[in-house]
Structure 1
């Protein structure tokens, strides 16, 4: 569970709600169903037009990555590969078959199973690199979809503003209708700005950060599997894989190894 995303959303919406409630009119003047229909319905319609139906229905799963995201810790992954190297050095590559069955990460397990199955280090690296490329492509597609919704929401907010202004100007002879037109004009802009700047843009940024984290861990795994296939020693594997860590994390890893 990503607490930072939840805290950010609660803080963002909370501050907006508190500032509204501190005003004299309360919350109800900021609730307008036609404005919500224009912004939320319009952004959803634009997403259906921009992307295939299957991708749109997968948006929920994409957004969940901002909240539920778990990857093997790089330091733990390095320790795993050191242990695998010790097994290979002692009992041979085929001894990894039992160890691979206990690996929870599918990406790492496929690489180990391919090695045990007789594929060369180069072949396994190529296979995993191809899979990583498709993972990155899916991540970029999800981010692009959220970015598209973030761009569409303010645009439809502007459309709603224009609709409200037309309604207001068309009802100048009837003062009772001016308020409704003005509310639609202003609230659609507000709704569009909130959807874009509190939800879509930050979530797209979080997806990009998550993709970068996953890419780093996957590249570490690819390098680790390749080193196992090449028969590298546990020490050599640690020295090469630790380069994926930040300098501060490398120092911590070195102390633990010592």
Structure 2
């Protein structure tokens, strides 16, 4: 669990509610089921319309990364690549064939298979670079789904406010209800802006940050495998891989 994400959300929500109380407002007015359904449902519908199915589904799956950060295992992979380099230096590339079955990461496993099959560094880099590009394209588009939600949410909130005001206008004959009705109508706007700036946009930015880190690890893997294919000195390769970790 990413404690910083949870703590940040709690701080943001508590700050808004505390401000409402200090202003002398009733905190219960911030809880409106109709406003929530309008904003959340409208925003969800908008991003579904704009996104291809695969991108939308991937975006929903990736959202958990904001709360449970995936393990990158960069140090473990760097150490693994260094060990393979030492083994290949001593016994030859084919000695790495027995290591393929022990690798769980699909990208790393594919790269090792390419290496064992006798491909040179350029061929390995070409194949894996295509994989990285495809991987990044889908996931960056998916991260932008949350960014798009942050753009739609405030506008949907205004729609909710207008709908609420329309309901207020139907009760003009009862002036005592107008003030409370208008306040309730603007809760939808609060929801729209709050969802955009406390949830959707932060999630989008955190996902982009994680994707950059994962892309960095994949680049390290490509460089490591290419170095082994070129017969680079294991000590030199280790120093190069350590640069990725810092």
Do both share a fold (TM > 0.5)? yes
Q: Between 110-119 and 76-85, report the one with greater CA deviation.
A: 76-85
Evaluate the alpha carbon distance shift between residue 58 and residue 181 of structure 1 in structure 2; reply closer, same or farther with a 3 A threshold: farther
Aligned residue in 1 for 2:71: 70
Aligned residue in 2 for 1:92: 92
Distance 1:76 1:226 in 2: 18
Q: Secondary structure at the match of 1:65?
A: helix
Distance 1:85 1:211 in 2: 27
TM superposition shift of 1:57: 3.5
Q: How many residues align?
A: 245
Distance 1:131 1:230 in 2: 21
Aligned residue in 2 for 1:158: 158
Q: Between 24-33 and 186-195, report the one with greater CA deviation.
A: 24-33
TM-score (norm 2): 0.90
Evaluate the alpha carbon distance shift between residue 37 and residue 176 of structure 1 in structure 2; reply closer, same or farther with a 3 A threshold: farther
Evaluate the alpha carbon distance shift between residue 3 and residue 104 of structure 1 in structure 2; reply closer, same or farther with a 3 A threshold: farther
Distance 1:5 1:105 in 2: 27
TM-score (norm 1): 0.86
Aligned residue in 1 for 2:167: 167
TM superposition shift of 1:37: 1.9
Query: C-alpha offsets along residues 71-103 of structure 1, whole Å, 9 cap, x if unaligned?
Result: 122x43332222111100111111112223223
Q: Secondary structure at the match of 1:136?
A: helix
Aligned residue in 1 for 2:106: 106
Question: How do residues 1-258 of structure 1 correspond to structure 2 at under 5 angstroms?
Answer: 1-20=1-20, 26-68=26-68, 69-73=70-74, 75-175=75-175, 177-179=177-179, 181-246=181-246
Structure 2 unaligned residues grouped into runs of 5+: none
Q: Secondary structure at the match of 1:171?
A: coil
TM superposition shift of 1:20: 4.3
Structure 1 unaligned residues grouped into runs of 5+: 247-258
Q: Between 120-129 and 23-32, report the one with greater CA deviation.
A: 23-32
Query: C-alpha offsets along residues 26-68 of structure 1, whole Å, 9 cap, x if unaligned?
Result: 5322222221121111101111211123433343212012223
Evaluate the alpha carbon distance shift between residue 58 and residue 214 of structure 1 in structure 2; reply closer, same or farther with a 3 A threshold: closer
Contact 1:72 / 1:105 at 8 angstroms: preserved in 2? no
Distance 1:158 1:72 in 2: 44
Distance 1:184 1:22 in 2: 18
